[in-house]
Structure 1
Amino acid sequence: MITVEEAEQLILDQLNDYGNETVPFELALGRVLAEDIKTDRDLPPFNRVTMDGIAIAYEAIEMGITTFAIKATQAAGDEPVNIDTVYECIEIMTGAALSSTADTVIRYEDIIISDGMAKVLTIDVKPGQNIHQKGKDKKKGEVVAAANRVITPAISGLAASVGKPVLRVKTMPRVVIISSGDELVDVADNPSDFQIRRSNNYTIKAVLKRYGINADMEHIAEDADVTKQQIQNCLQNYDVILLSGGISMGKFDYIPQALEDLQVKKLFHRVSQRPGKPFWFGKHNNGVLVFAFPGNPVATFMCVHRYFLLWLNACLGISGKPLVYAQLTKDVTFTPPLKYFLQVKLNITKQGIITAEPVEGNGSGDFANLADTDAFMELPMEPSVFKAGEAFPVIKF
């Protein structure tokens, strides 16, 4: 049995680059950029008016001029209108492009307009006020979003603003999720008194969908030959196999033997953690990785977040674990010599401190309990008593 840290390193030693692909920018949310997004022109591309009002030459204010003849009215999107003398102004709207003959905008609240004339009421006029200067945000050719970043709504907006209808993104691995066990029936079926509905595979699929992976799903009956054949097919058609269940020491757990027969090299089996101690990880000589999670729902859920997503982010160039710490709200005792992934509900105090309230469950099979929690708190193997107020890392889900 190995430690969590050793398991993590063995997994991160197996990083792969699955290439790049192009997708429409409006479908790229959640994907990882494989290129820098650069501006195709200055941002903003012109001197942009930020207040409704009048545009003047500040020279007029310096000369003591406070009343201006309105030459024209200009809306956003209109061609800029020039003023010919310091005694003229342009009535102008927010978002409009300012002519080079004007350099200051005075808002409506500070003027009176009557009979085609605008009188300035305030003496507090500053040169260049209420103007977003051309190129102030970014110059043409500058990077507005660097590669290896998750595409957020803000980045989608940036892509639209610089004329990038198609984005190059990291290609996701081809993933299949395999469940096993004759005690499991489909969601729409009526289970017998001794059966349960399959849920782990749907849970994993839902987690991966948030990362832009549309994983396939298969179910293996408890038959040694069938198990071997289905896994062999998956080894030929996918980059990653995620197994849920069938890897413990039971008489009908055929998966470990099938993996061995198919020359999937075991890199580890059993990790000193709870939940998820029977976690198995290996690699086929063709490069396919196999994550075999315990069948208990909470164990599967935790291992997907703690190990598979960490590996996926590293493959996509998103470096480092998201280190979020939270303070326990009450004492917790855990005596086995294992790293404990405690289910917690997170809150934030008025002082900005993240707190973690332990939520009592009924073991790694109590999946319903996850609906009332936000994260796993990663408690070290020692000590066995963790005090309220102590801070530990959390894996938010």
Structure 2
Amino acid sequence: MNNIVSACGAEQGLITVDQALDLIRDKIQVLETENLKLNQALNRYLAEDIYSSINLPLFSQSAVDGYALSAPSTIEPNRSFALVGEIQAGHASELQLTQGQAVRIFTGAKIPLGTTTVARQEIVKIIDSSRIEITESLKAHTDIRDVGEEIAVGDLLASSGQQLSVGAIASLSMAGIQTVNVFQYPKVAVVITGDEVAASVEDFAAGKIFDANAPLIQAWFQQQSQQVEIFHVADTEHAVTALIQTLSKAYDLILTTGGVSVGDYDFIRPVTLNLGFEQIFWKVKQKPGKPIFFATLQRADHSACYLLGLPGNPAAVYMGMQIYTSAVLNALQGQKQPPNWFSAVLTHDVKMDARERFLRMSASFDQSILKVKSLSKQQSHMLSNLMQANCLVRIPAGQTMLEGQIVQGLFIGS
């Protein structure tokens, strides 16, 4: 009896999670590129390498507030210098120091010719308005930022395929980059199927439920700094056909929830195939989300529309967004690397299942070791444990995992 239960949902012919992800990466056609202002390109993927046209720093400059000095070698304590001027950051100066001279200088200001070292102001004693004294020994070339020490003209700043994070944008801005060539972001339509979705509390009397999938998906895309359009469609073949046909002409990706299994009102797959889409895969040996569906339509202009059909249960939708929707969006933008799985130690046993499972877990460090702990309420219609979960953990098919064993996981957004 136990063997019959454990094999449920793992019939012959199902592909694995990794096979499904490989198919997504292999079959997807990368989108065209566009040129954007750098301040509009957060989270976008570069379509070309970027090289520096300038040195950083642009000129040799002071690393501290202090005094630029000219001396032949190491400066011993109590050595005095003639103070001949002041240079502020952002102000040009024609000053040129000779041996025994000093100039007041501020952080980031251009080092005058003849400077051999800089003394921070904490080790300088002011004798009078025209003379200073160094109170500690000071080596040559102290606190000088050399021209080009961080980046030289021609250095690679960023590589094609790199995602533009906040830090990347800041770094490129400092190097004077104002526009970037990036892959276009996919135009995405989200289709929520199901007559069971309630529009008001009064609908509960008719057996309807509140919709979690549309808010979940919209928030997920907002976290990626992207906008999507959301459509609701009735569970009729005519309504589904009309909507998918219209959307397939204008969008790069149609993301659907529900209607991909074998029920009497599951129209997404048959309608999609009737409209000329080619099935790439249907059903994956996983839990939750086995009846996931992926298909492609080649349009007359040689562009493609992709349809990713997720099951309707909210936990399956959430897992599908983190694993599969991410893979599709990345592949469309030229990113065809596997997910960045982490490794962690299980803190408890996990029973065997015929399918690979994605469990919502809590990950934390214990004496520098990353450990994961499963949360209760893992059923596919439940989402409440997402209040505590910060990762999805892969439990291999057909294996009982024991406390202390290593598992793979994926961190999920807050």
Q: TM-score, normalised by structure 2?
A: 0.89
Deviates more, 1:196-205 or 1:147-156: 196-205
Q: Is the aligned partner of 1:387 residue 2:405?
A: no
Listed as ranges, the matches of 1:249-268 within 5 Å are: 249-268=262-281
Does the Cα contact within 8 Å between 2:71 and 2:100 map onto a contact in 1? no
The number of residue pairs the alignment matches comes to: 392
Aligned to 1:80, the other structure's residue is in SS state coil
Deviates more, 1:27-36 or 1:58-67: 58-67
Does the Cα contact within 8 Å between 2:75 and 2:139 map onto a contact in 1? no
Distance in 2 separating the partners of 1:108 and 1:35: 45
Does the Cα contact within 8 Å between 1:31 and 1:170 map onto a contact in 2? yes
Report the AA paired with residue 343 of structure 2.
Y
Distance in 1 separating the partners of 2:157 and 2:273: 49
- Percent identity between the aligned chains? 26
Does the Cα contact within 8 Å between 1:340 and 1:380 map onto a contact in 2? yes
Q: Which residue of 2 aligns with 1:53?
A: 66
Distance in 2 separating the partners of 1:154 and 1:181: 42
Distance in 1 separating the partners of 2:40 and 2:208: 40
Does the Cα contact within 8 Å between 1:74 and 1:81 map onto a contact in 2? no
Unaligned 5+ runs, structure 2: 1-13
Distance in 1 separating the partners of 2:106 and 2:269: 71
2:261 pairs with 231, 248, 254, which one? Answer: 248
Q: Which residue of 1 aligns with 2:324?
A: 307
Q: Is the aligned partner of 1:184 residue 2:197?
A: yes
Q: Over residues 330-389 of structure 1, what are the superposed CA-to-partner deviations in whole Å (9 max), with x where a residue is unaligned? A: 11113x3110111101111232x2111100115001022222101111111121x21111
Does the Cα contact within 8 Å between 2:78 and 2:133 map onto a contact in 1? no
Listed as ranges, the matches of 1:298-377 within 5 Å are: 298-318=315-335, 319-334=337-352, 336-351=353-368, 353-377=369-393
Distance in 1 separating the partners of 2:194 and 2:260: 11
Deviates more, 1:274-283 or 1:10-19: 10-19
Q: Over residues 76-127 of structure 1, what are the superposed CA-to-partner deviations in whole Å (9 max), with x where a residue is unaligned? A: 112135245312210111111001211210111212102121011112x111
Q: Is the aligned partner of 1:120 residue 2:138?
A: no
Does the Cα contact within 8 Å between 1:176 and 1:242 map onto a contact in 2? yes
Aligned to 1:196, the other structure's residue is in SS state coil
Deviates more, 1:74-83 or 1:39-48: 74-83
Does the Cα contact within 8 Å between 1:33 and 1:151 map onto a contact in 2? yes
Aligned to 1:41, the other structure's residue is in SS state coil
Unaligned 5+ runs, structure 1: none
Cα distance, 1:190 vs. partner?
A: 5.2
Does the Cα contact within 8 Å between 1:239 and 1:289 map onto a contact in 2? yes
Does the Cα contact within 8 Å between 1:179 and 1:219 map onto a contact in 2? yes
Q: Over residues 288-322 of structure 1, what are the superposed CA-to-partner deviations in whole Å (9 max), with x where a residue is unaligned? A: 21111100001011112112212322332333321
Cα distance, 1:249 vs. partner?
A: 2.1
Does the Cα contact within 8 Å between 1:178 and 1:219 map onto a contact in 2? yes
Does the Cα contact within 8 Å between 2:358 and 2:395 map onto a contact in 1? yes
Q: TM-score, normalised by structure 1?
A: 0.93
Provide closer, same or farther for how the CA distance between residues 362 and 36 of structure 1 changes in structure 2, counting only shifts above 3 A: closer
Provide closer, same or farther for how the CA distance between residues 95 and 288 of structure 1 changes in structure 2, counting only shifts above 3 A: same
